Amino acid sequence: MPSGHAYGKSIRTVKTCVGTEHCRFGTQQSMSMGVALEKMLFGMWSPHKVKLAVSGCPRNCSEAGIKDVGVIGVDSGWELYVAGNGGIKTEVAEFLCKVTTREEVLEYSAAFLQLYREEAWYLERTVHYVQRVGLDYVKQHILEDADNRKALHQRLLYALQGTIDPWKERLPGTAATPLAAEFIPLPVPVETV
């Protein structure tokens, strides 16, 4: 499991509930969806921090309704919410659309985040960006213009290609590095009587 980004103006982590993998109420596999989103977005820098969550059903145990991108599983697919915010001033995310496939969740989420990356001001959270430009503007660029949505998605993937996981540099067996020494157990002195 890679470590999340704790401080950067970047993707933080994708929080999930346990979904159909472990919960009898679940309608969708939220854990694997969260992993897919996090892998797609790993290393993404942004105007301000970005948090996502995925819930496996509308009970919404991962609190996707107060995230920059919230994904909620329903019987027939996934609902996408954007521009939520926890913290000091809680803002409820706004409903963006409903999609049916995992690929659509990734594409629409990426398109929204790339639009935000390209247009938001530095230190402007998604909630303030969407309040400034309007949700209708976001819908025009993502829902009503499929070519633009796909292009935004591709620009994000292009920007993230070649992202290096700094933690993997430390794994033994990868790129002969002295950092791997961090994983070599220290010898424990044995006391002899």
List interacting residues with ligand SF4 (CB under 6 A): 17-19, 23, 25-26, 30, 55-57, 59-61
* Nearest distance from C-beta of residue 29 to ligand SF4, angstroms: 10
Our CB check for ligand SF4 shows the closer of 54 and 130 to be: 54
The answer to whether 96 and 81 are in contact (CB under 8 A) is yes
Please state the closest distance from residue 21 (CB atom) to ligand SF4, in A. 9
Q: Which is nearer to ligand SF4, 18 or 157 (CB)?
A: 18
Cα distance between residue 22 and residue 36, in whole Å: 18
> d(Cα 7, Cα 10) in Å, to the nearest integer?
8
In the complex, what is the shortest distance from the CB of residue 57 to ligand SF4, in angstroms, rounded to a whole number? 3
Smallest gap, in angstroms, from Cβ of residue 86 to ligand SF4? Answer: 17
Closest C-alpha to 133, from 146, 117, 119: 119
* Nearest residue (CB) to ligand SF4, 29 versus 114: 29
Cβ proximity to ligand SF4, 17 vs 41, nearer residue: 17
Rounded Cα distance, 112 and 96, in Å: 10
- Please, are residues 94 and 81 in contact by the beta-carbon 8 Å criterion? yes
Residue 83 burial (CB count, 10 A): 24
The answer to whether 69 and 112 are in contact (CB under 8 A) is yes
Nearer to ligand SF4 by C-beta: 21 or 104? 21
Min separation Cβ 128 and ligand SF4, Å: 28
